[in-house]
Structure 1
Amino acid sequence: MTFQPVIPITGYAGWRFLQRTLDTQKDAFVQTTTFQRQTDYFRENISKINTAEELVADRRLLEVALGAFGLDEDIGNKAFIQKILEDGTLAEDALANRLSDKRYNTMSREFGFGDLGSRTRLSNFADQILARFEDRQFERAVGDVNGDMRLALNLSSGLSDIFDQDLPSDAQWFAVMGSTPVRTIFETALGFPSSFGAIDIDQQRTAFQERSQSVFGTDKVEDFADPEMQEKLIRLYLVRSEITAYSNASGSSIALNLLQAMPNLNA
């Protein structure tokens, strides 16, 4: 038995519908047989895991561990994940600290293998990871219906992970740029082109700050901890994303009509 989220309309109106029905839809999703099997197995077995090597050796546990941080696609990269977990986050040259995608840093810090030791035996560890897993997997199911809604749902947790790193104000923008889901929302909402990521990283940070100040009245990422600011960001992201999708579709339609209107050269 599976559950597919219902989003009858696109854009910001669709987002408002999803917000109103979120609790009901999520409850239906987590009650499916497949999901319950995954979470039950993790809850019953994660406390037996003491090392990163043991975790990556158990595919069912690893699926939940990666899924909790939106890293489902890395299920086949066992050596890479083991290295990230074993290195931890305390050393400056740890692999998780050198990667631009800070989801790896968050996962390594939460499991603790390479820091102060495994956290898997803590009484609330399974609950914490499974809460993340429920959120990320529901977002993933939403993404199968509408990719923009998945990103919007992920924004709050993505920003929380950045804030948890206790970074200086300027460094938080680099963390935003290092989180693909969060960056996509900011980049689209602020009207930057797809080629924006190709320019110098410091210039990108400055551009993000200046455009954010102009559009939202602040150049500080921490101000987006405010739910109202997040809602403004999501609204602008969805509006711009829908405009872009409509423009692309209209452009394709116009091109098709022009092609169909052309005379048959073989006639």
Structure 2
Amino acid sequence: MISLSGLNTRMGLQLVDATRDRQLDMIRDSAEDKRAIAAFEERIGNVFSVDQLMEDRELYVFTMKAFGLEDQIFGKAMVEKILKSDPDDPKSLVNRLTDPRFREMHEVMGFVDEGQNNLNTFSTSWQSDMVDRYVEQRFESAQAEQNEKVGTVLEFRRKAGEIKNWFDVLKDKDLSEFMRTALGVPASAAGLDIDKQADLFRQKFDLADFKNPAELEKLERKYVAISDAKAGVQASANAALSLMNAAVSAGAGGRFTPITLDISAITALPRRTY
């Protein structure tokens, strides 16, 4: 995987966009992922029930990674209950969870009749889509591990077209953080009642514009600019603190030696170019 080390969000995204196809090919060709894809393609067509999926460790892990749920692999019993849930029952487990990834997995996997039958696994086109989903998610997760903000932008790009109401945004931690930042909504707003949060977003952005590529690009530019500006302020603050600590340490006999710092000069230090 191509490193994003030392890059801000803007530069990181530029590198990711320029190398995307190459990185996707690298994932498909890596030994670990190549084995996982081959096992999935070979055996998923014979899986018709949730129990069969759970009995095959490789297929279960592949499925979880394909939906960005690698951090939940340990919760096998809960995942089994989710996949066997009735989506039409408001009280079923899949409808009571706030994490939208589980609902998406339930819908895409296509298990019905309390997990006893499946509508999709025999389809070669569905299998191909699942492999693409797996590769894309592995790519996105790898970028997020290196640069959280880059990962958030990539997730926004993937999900923006599916947003139907503000609650689709608010139930997703990364999407809501993206929109708060891009629209200038204070982070403290996350503590408000969910209806009030939706009203704040509604006042600042038209839901219909989630279908407008130009508006999505504007949101992305704002998010990146604000994120990098905040990171720059934090870096400057850290530099100032380091200088103050150094001044204290240099004082004779441990005495504090006052110094004058030109904060404007510190914040104006030239950034390293890449």
Quickly name the TM-score band, shorter chain normalised.
0.7 to 0.9
Task: Give the aligned CA root-mean-square deviation in angstroms.
Answer: 2.2
Aligned to 1:40: 38
CA distance in 2, matches of 1:42, 1:35: 10
SS of residue paired to 1:16 = helix
Q: Deviations over 1:66-96 (max 9, x none)?
A: 1111111000001111111110422222222
Alignment pair present for 1:202 and 2:195 = yes
Alignment pair present for 1:146 and 2:147 = yes
Q: Deviations over 1:208-255 (max 9, x none)?
A: 11122xxxxxx21x4213332222222111111111112122222222
CA distance in 2, matches of 1:198, 1:78: 31
AA aligned to 1:175 is D
SS of residue paired to 2:87 = coil
Aligned to 1:127: 128
CA distance in 2, matches of 1:106, 1:73: 16
Equivalent residues of 1:38, 1:64 under 8 A apart: yes
Equivalent residues of 1:158, 1:181 under 8 A apart: no
Q: 2:170 aligns with which of 171, 177, 181?
A: 177
CA distance in 1, matches of 2:55, 2:186: 42
Q: 2:211 aligns with which of 211, 225, 231?
A: 225
Alignment pair present for 1:64 and 2:66 = no
Q: Give the number of the structure whose alpha-carbon radius of gyration is greater.
A: 2
Aligned to 1:5: 2
CA distance in 2, matches of 1:184, 1:122: 37
AA aligned to 2:154 is L
Aligned to 1:236: 222
For structure 2, which runs of at least 5 residues remain unmatched after alignment?
256-274
Equivalent residues of 1:96, 1:102 under 8 A apart: no
TM-score (normalizing by structure 1): 0.84
Equivalent residues of 1:88, 1:108 under 8 A apart: no
1:139–1:226 Cα change, 3 Å: same
TM-score (normalizing by structure 2): 0.82
CA distance in 2, matches of 1:131, 1:35: 12
CA distance in 2, matches of 1:11, 1:157: 17
Identity %: 27
Deviation at 1:135, TM superposition (A): 0.5
CA distance in 2, matches of 1:153, 1:252: 28
Aligned to 1:93: 91
SS of residue paired to 1:89 = coil
Q: Name the stretch that deviates more: 188-197 or 7-16.
A: 7-16
Deviation at 1:123, TM superposition (A): 2.8
CA distance in 2, matches of 1:131, 1:11: 25
Aligned to 2:270: none
Aligned to 1:191: 184
SS of residue paired to 1:92 = coil
Q: Deviations over 1:170-228 (max 9, x none)?
A: xx11011112232221122122333321111100000111122xxxxxx21x4213332
Equivalent residues of 2:209, 2:216 under 8 A apart: no
Deviation at 1:266, TM superposition (A): 4.3
AA aligned to 2:147 is N
Aligned to 1:258: 244
AA aligned to 2:46 is K
For structure 1, which runs of at least 5 residues remain unmatched after alignment?
213-218
